Each structure stands twice: as structure tokens, then as C-alpha cells.
Structure 1
Amino acid sequence: MSIKAVFFDCWDTLLQDAVELSEEIDARIAELVSAGLRVEREPVERAVRGEGEEFSARIRDGRTVVTPAMRLGSVLDALAGPGTAARHEELVARTLAAVDDAIRHVPPEVVPGAHEMLRDLRSAGLVMCVVSNTGWTSTDAVTGALDRQALLPYFRTCYFSGDGYRPKPSPEMFALALRDLGLDPSHALHVGDQAQTDAVAALAAGLRSVVLLEGGSRYSARRGAEPGEDRRIIRVGSLDAGREAVLGIVDRPR
């Protein structure tokens, strides 16, 4: 069957997840939480790092919904006991707003080849959607970053785990996207930079997967366990190579 839709990961596939942005987000959280709870900054920084490790484990597991508000709630509760986040709703809202502002203060760059790939896939008549895990930033902040880089208009819709979906490697977001588009999994494929989340989720949903071996600017050196050899996985070195691979599949349907 021919390919009719291509789903894209966001971070390190379309937008580069720079270390500078993560550091800015962590600094804003530490500053506001320290002032709001009237605690020293160092334990806040430790709590943020600890939550980050827990978050990474939850992402790898793929069975637990994790939103930015839930993440910040874990930090607050770790610092001042259970129920702290519920008692400080204004602090939570103010901190999350500052986190979203960080993506405008330290704007992510476009991954090389993204514009060209999206342009050519649109010219080929393919429907495109974003299916991506998110960390601290809201959907509005991430779609705003995509829009400022002139990427958002290429996509029919976006699905982010921070909206209350189980993160990849769960296939949940793919199942929703396929349902909303009225497509069989055999008519779609996914492009992402993480085999252990992107490819695993895509294969579980019945899609083929294009994995960018040079995608992750800060994750490339610490990838987790990847799926074994599978003819449904196409490993490429860049988005330029990925574009050629996807267009080749479109021209030569299975």
C-alpha cells in the first residue's frame, strides 16, 4: 500500500533541543520555586535534577502520562511534602509560564534539511502531523516555536505527550493520529531521532520508521537500547537522506 501520511517527531528531528534551552528552563524553575517556597536554591536544583532523571525513566517506560504541571508538582512535593503543589497553584502557573517564555528567550534552531523535506513531502501530496514527546514546555510553546520557524503550516495537526497522552514508546499518539486521519497504519510512517522511543512506538502502531542517526544534538551520545534489525526500520544519517528514503517509498509503494 502507498504512503499517504508522514508523522514527525519534534525535538532533534525538526527543532534542535539545545543544552542552552534546558539550562535556561532549569534556572527559571530554580529561581521561582526557591523564592515561592522560601527555600535555598541548591535543594531546588537537586530536586529538579532528580525529577529529570525520574521523568527520563517514565519516558523510556512509556506507560505513564506526564504533563509539565505534574513534573513541577513532583518538584514542589519533594521539597516541602505531599500536597505542596495543590497549595501553591499560583506558583505553579507562574513557573510554567516562565518555562514557556524560555523557549522564546532561547529559540531552538531548525534541524538542517527540515524545510526542504517538508516542502518536498507536501509537494508529493502527503499529509503530515507532529507526534512527539514533550518535557517542560507546553503544547502552545512548542507549536509557537514551530510557527516562528515557519514549520507549523506544513502540519495537519500535532500530538504532544504533555497534553495527557502516554509518551512514546507507547503507540497511543500514533493510534489517535491514524484514527483522526482515517488511515490504516500501512499508509503511514514516522520520522524521528530516537530508535528506542520513536521506532518502538511506530512499529507497535503498525507503521514503518525512519530513524535519524545524527538527529539528537544532546541525546546522540546516550541512546538507550534500540530495537533489533527490522525491515520496517530505515536508518539514515540526516533529514536529507530521510527525505530521499521517504520519497523513494512513495514512488515505490510496498
Structure 2
Amino acid sequence: MSLKLITIDFWNTLFDSENGFARNQFRLNSLRSEIDALGYSITEKEFNPAIEASWGYFHNIWRNEHRTPSTASTVEFLFDYLNLPKNPEIIENVAEAFGDCIIYHPPNLLPGVKPALEKLKEKGYELGIVSDTGFSPGKTLRKVLYDAGIYSYFSEFSFSDETGYSKPSKESFLAILSKYQIDPDASLHIGDIEETDIIGAKQLGMKAIKFIGDKSSTFVSKTNHSIADAICKDWSEVVDVIQKIDSTII
């Protein structure tokens, strides 16, 4: 059985993590604008540890419960941390602004992604996105994909805020595999995190490529060992590596 489906992670695989500072400033300004109506103000010195604590809240759930909290839930945590009154309408507005900031300050498409996707489509592979989401939900990441000119290469999407599951949960991958009715052993996943992308795919029976070519990545793995079928440092080598893996499948 040959490979039929390639699923790909969004962050630090297709896109880098650049412009994070600009996105944080956008979030701060959005928060200031909303809480001003309540008679509250916030300094950058107060905001920075609060946003860090919010990411800590997010990561705890992501790591231990294999799901990602909604943007509104994380914003509620932020309001609690800052002792701000939790006005539902304002929390909704702040959550929307936090999610949309990536549109105004998007990450960069990594070098070589577009020509590689084009070659994979030419070779007949189905392509899908399997990605965990942070402040920006799947509907917003779709727009980033569209603006970067690569949305049309993908037929199916599995974003954790939409499925209710994050990697390494098998449901994250099955959300796409089941739509195509493709078996795991005829599928391959490309991602950057060993504990979520690689272990999740391999436990399900998929092939996996670990991508380590994004220098902006700040994620620290708990292990230097990888169970991936291959490791790629650049998208220029991904297509050939997939072909080699495909040729070994009986």
C-alpha cells in the first residue's frame, strides 16, 4: 500500500513564529481599549506576566488533557489574573481581537513550502492540516493560509478548537483520515514537536517526518531522540524524503 495522504502541522512547520512581539502589542492595545470603558487601565509591565501566565494555563490543559482551551476561556483566565471584572461582552470582544491579531501581524511562510506543496499535489497526494490552535482559532488560521497563497492545496482541516482534541490524541488525525477513508498506514504526518506530532502519528500507525527547520521555534522537547521515520531541516528536501518513505511501503 502506497501513501495517499499527507497531513501537515501549521506552526513551526508551514509557518514560523515571527512577529510574536507585534501580536502581543496588538493584544495589549485591544485589551486596553476594551477595559477603558470599565474605568480600568493596564501597563505593559502588568500585562507581560499576565499573558505569560495565560500561556501557562493554556499549556497545562494542552499537555495534560490533550485539548486546547478556547480563546475566551484563556482570556477569562487573563482577566482573573489581572483582577478585572469579567464582563461577558468585553471578554468576547477581547477574545476576538486576540484571535484576529495574527491577520494583522502574520507569521512568515517558511522557505520552500509552496513549491513543495505544489509537487506533492502533482504527485497525487491528498493534503490536509492537523494543527493545534492557541489564541487564533482554526477559522483565522484558514485566512492566514489563504493570504499566504497555500490554502487551495489543502482539502481537509483538523484544528483542535474545532475537533475538541489536540495532538497526540488519535482523534486529531482521524478527523481527516476518516473523511478520506484512508488507513493510517497509507498516511504520513509532518510536524515539529516530538511529543505531539510525531508520537501521535506513529501511535496511530502513520508514517512521520519531524521538521526541525524553523529557527524561530521556542518549543523545547523533553527528549533529543525521535521515533520519526525521517527528519528534515528544509522544505526543499521534504518531497524526496516522502518519496523514499513511500517506496519502502509494501
TM over 0.5: yes
Pairs within 5 Å for 1:60-71: 60-71=63-74
The counterpart of 1:243, out of the listed 239, 242, 246, is: 239
Map of 1:214 onto structure 2: 213
1:80 aligns with 2:76: no
1:92 aligns with 2:91: yes
> The residue matched to 1:80 in structure 2 has which SS?
coil
The answer (yes or no) to whether the contact 2:138–2:159 under 8 Å persists in 1 is yes
The list of structure 1 runs, each at least 4 consecutive aligned residues, that deviate by more than 4 angstroms after superposition, is none
Q: Which amino acid aligns with 1:50?
A: A
Per-residue deviation at 1:147? 0.2
1:57 aligns with 2:53: no
* Deviation per residue, 1:104-134 (Å, 9 max, x gap): 2212221111101110110011111000011
Q: Which amino acid aligns with 1:40?
A: I
Q: Which amino acid aligns with 1:241?
A: E
Alignment TM-score, normalising by the size of structure 1: 0.86
Q: Distance in 1 between matches of 2:7 and 2:224?
A: 19
Gaps spanning 5+ residues in structure 2: where? none
Q: Distance in 1 between matches of 2:178 and 2:239?
A: 25
Matched residues, percent identical? 21
The answer (yes or no) to whether the contact 2:68–2:134 under 8 Å persists in 1 is no
Q: Distance in 1 between matches of 2:247 and 2:52?
A: 47
The answer (yes or no) to whether the contact 1:4–1:127 under 8 Å persists in 2 is yes
Q: Which amino acid aligns with 2:189?
A: H
Pairs within 5 Å for 1:101-116: 101-116=100-115
1:156 aligns with 2:155: yes
**Structure 2 CA distance for partners of 1:13 and 1:127, relative to 1, 3 Å:** same
* Deviation per residue, 1:172-196 (Å, 9 max, x gap): 2102211121111001010112222
1:9 aligns with 2:9: yes
The answer (yes or no) to whether the contact 1:171–1:201 under 8 Å persists in 2 is yes
**Of 101-110 and 188-197, the range deviating more from structure 2:** 101-110
Count of aligned pairs: 247
> The residue matched to 2:190 in structure 1 has which SS?
strand
**Structure 2 CA distance for partners of 1:167 and 1:192, relative to 1, 3 Å:** same
The answer (yes or no) to whether the contact 2:113–2:235 under 8 Å persists in 1 is yes
The answer (yes or no) to whether the contact 2:32–2:42 under 8 Å persists in 1 is no
Q: Distance in 1 between matches of 2:226 and 2:76?
A: 40
Pairs within 5 Å for 1:13-52: 13-18=13-18, 19-28=20-29, 30-32=31-33, 34-35=35-36, 38-41=40-43, 42-52=45-55
> The residue matched to 2:17 in structure 1 has which SS?
coil
Per-residue deviation at 1:8? 0.4
**Structure 2 CA distance for partners of 1:57 and 1:46, relative to 1, 3 Å:** same
Q: Which amino acid aligns with 2:88?
A: E
Q: Distance in 1 between matches of 2:225 and 2:149?
A: 36
Per-residue deviation at 1:166? 2.2
> The residue matched to 1:12 in structure 2 has which SS?
coil
Q: Distance in 2 between matches of 1:151 and 1:166?
A: 24
Map of 1:223 onto structure 2: 220
Per-residue deviation at 1:241? 1.7
Q: Distance in 2 between matches of 1:29 and 1:162?
A: 22
> The residue matched to 1:128 in structure 2 has which SS?
strand
Q: Distance in 2 between matches of 1:21 and 1:226?
A: 31
